[in-house]
Structure 1
Amino acid sequence: MDLRLELLPIPVSDTDRAIAFYSEKVGFKLDHDITPGGGMRIVQMTPPGSSCSIGFGDGWVGTPPGSIQNLHLVVDDIRAVHAELSGRGLEISEINDMSAPGKPTVSYAYFADPDGNSWALQQMARRT
């Protein structure tokens, strides 16, 4: 049996503002933007290199905007990604390197979308 997590609903208050943020500031690709009717609008966007997308829009995500916290985007080179995102005007925290004796360093940087849904960039040793 395969179970693949491929779509995470993200509650937003303004669909067009969210599309602009995720595409222009974070570099997600717009996969779908459809209006099936009945006041519903469904948007799907995917981070570069990811098999999992986010979805948001009007009339289908019932949780309050800003209620999703600490989603992780795992990267190979956090310093390069941080520089690229900062260069796009994204407000992002400084990189925090965390380590423990005998353990590889794990690094994080944090940002939020306009509604307050929060994200973490994470760089860690590859799983084997």
Structure 2
Amino acid sequence: MNTANNNNLIENELSKCIIGIAMDVHTALGPGLLEGAYKECLYYKINKAGFYVEKEKAIPIVFEEVRLDCGYRLDLLVENKLVLELKCVEYLNEVHLAQTLTYLKLGNFKLGLLINFNVKRLKDGIQRVVNGL
């Protein structure tokens, strides 16, 4: 896709495109790999599709007007608006959802996708996480 046109995609449209790419990665690799393998492949495919994507983007905490790097890192950030939090776990739970929502709030993002690649069908491992959308 043309990056100039990608900036105009709203979060919901963008998430549909990225879910399709994630499904392609999962179909090719299947479950059972480490999170880092899926992250690298997804980063590659999203970039190849023409989207602007950042990997391991630092998200600071602002405390008493001071920006502090406390080690929070987004797995992937697409087009500066869609947070991707990747997991390879038996089950997603409330802690994973809370972590993703925290990232959305810290970065003032509206939408995140929590994606668990350790499932037979990826559609069963994707959860949308919303922050004021």
TM-score with structure 1 setting the length: 0.30
> Which protein shows a greater Rg?
1
Task: From the two aligned structures, give the one with the greater strand fraction.
Answer: 1
* Greater helix content: 2
